[in-house]
Amino acid sequence: MDNKIKEILDKEVRPMLAMHLGDLDFVSFENGVVKLKMKGNCQGCPLSIVTLKAGIEQILKSKIPEVKSVEEVV
């Protein structure tokens, strides 16, 4: 499952974040929760929670039914 999540992050999410000089690291996937560490301009950005929930979480949930939520690790 980790590889499928990483593939989606690499192909669909990273390019979107890169346009804003941001990036992320995959930390883990346990009990339906994907944990990510935001980097670059995304780290500490007030809108990063919107990106995380309305963007990344929705993409992952639509492609992988086992994903229940996405959380940021600081």
Question: What tens digit of pLDDT does each residue of 3-58 get?
Answer: 999 999 999 999 999 999 999 999 999 999 999 999 999 888 888 889 999 999 99
pLDDT at 18: 95
pLDDT at 44: 85
pLDDT at 4: 97
Per-residue pLDDT at 2 exceeds 90: yes
Decide if 53 contacts 70 (C-beta within 8 A). Answer: yes
Domain boundaries, the chain: 2-72
- Tell me which architecture the domain covering 2-72 has in CATH: 2-Layer Sandwich (3.30)
pLDDT at 30: 97
Whose CA is closest to 20, among 54, 58, 49, 51?
51
